Amino acid sequence: MFELLKTDTTTKARLGRLTTAHGVVETPVFMPVGTQASVKALDPRELREMGTQIILGNTYHLNLRPGLDIIRAAGGLHRFMNWDKPILTDSGGFQVFSLAKIRKVKAHGVEFRSHLDGSALFLGPKESMEIQRVLGSDIAMVFDECPPHDAPAKEQRLAVERTIRWARECREQPRAEGQKVFGIVQGGVNPALREECAKALVAMEFDGYAIGGVSVGEPEPEMMKAVELAEPHLPAHKSRYAMGLGTPAQMVELIARGVDMFDCVLPTRVARNGTAYTKRGTFSIKGGAVKADFGPIEAGCDCFACQHFTRAYIRHLLNVNEILGLRLVSIHNSHLYLRVMNEVRAALAAGTFGEYYREFIAGYTPTQKVLSQRKKHTAD
């Protein structure tokens, strides 16, 4: 399923190829997030045009709305949303632990109340895998427990134990045809827990491995540490996926630490607030500074927005609440994330990733305001 094409000689970065039921994914890859069967503000044509290889869908949200009966009747998530390339679905575990206000963890899953209408629901390994089977995603994720980054040691241990037990249950459930399943490594920043969790999951021989418990409000050094603790215990011939991350610079940092796959709501979320990404960081496209700036969002960018519209026009649209404004910034930001991945893969193929990595990080200025929006991940 995963072919490791090349490993960087100066870092742990990997060039790979992931084969799924709906096509091949070149890695490292960024997966735009289509929480509710739509990557916010974008249509599938725009996603294809910007080079999207695979998108993410959310089990928790899709199970609530439109509900499984509708997606089953549509013939699966691909057909429901008219997306014929690969889809990865998360398990809903993250949302149950972050969105549901009232919940009770049981042996075989979690009792909780819907964040929409308070109705009583239950989600566990069996339920999650059944939903993902009906969704028909190319890659399903196991149902895990994702504790807060500052959870006490005992809670982290319990979460790892449950995550391992639930992963085993997920492993045994029926799947959609050709559906692959990834395990999720938990364990916070505790080296022993990360190792224990990774080894137990690797023994179960999943099709790939995610590093969970990141992008849950922790400081960036902890995020890096969590990945560094898990990665050495993951097999080289399987994909590694860091869930819910991150900024372009964080992705490049994690690629250098051996990660292949990313998903993040930031590019479309900050777009709706008028924040544009560039390879050097972010800037506000609502401010007066660009009101008569007739250049593109980012010089040299070949996205649909930058090829056809100016900063001044997009600023105007955003300031008068025209939907086209946030569409255009969403296109540019998502395209930028994908473009960075294209460049990373080209550098890996050319054997120049070490150089690309240093230059990228040196040229990128992280914005605190943008980073703080990662914490809202749960709502999307």
The residue ranges that bind a copy of itself (CB under 8 A) are 36-38, 40-44, 61, 65-66, 69-70, 73-74, 80-82, 291-292, 294, 308-310, 312-313, 315-317, 319-320, 322-328
214-247 b/e with 16+ CB inside 10 Å = b?
bbbbbeeebbbbbbbbbbebbeeebbbbbbbbbb
280-303 b/e with 16+ CB inside 10 Å = b?
ebbbbbbeeebeeeeebbbeebeb
Tokens matching residue 181: 């399943």
* Cβ pair 257, 214 in contact under 8 A: no
CB of 116 vs a copy of itself, minimal distance in Å: 10
CB of 274 vs a copy of itself, minimal distance in Å: 15
Catalytic residue selected from 90, 138, 144, 260: 90
Q: Which is nearer to a copy of itself, 38 or 373 (CB)?
A: 38
Q: Which is nearer to a copy of itself, 294 or 365 (CB)?
A: 294
Tokens matching residue 24: 């091949």
CB of 129 vs a copy of itself, minimal distance in Å: 23
User: What is the three-state SS of 308-329?
Assistant: HCCHHHHHHHHHCCCHHHHHHH
Phi-psi map region of 217: left, alpha, beta (phi>0 left; psi -120 to 50 alpha):
left
Q: Which is nearer to a copy of itself, 62 or 255 (CB)?
A: 62
* Cβ pair 275, 315 in contact under 8 A: no
Q: Which is nearer to a copy of itself, 81 or 159 (CB)?
A: 81
263 flagged as catalytic: yes
Catalytic residue selected from 138, 144, 263, 380: 263
Which residues are known to be catalytic? 90, 263
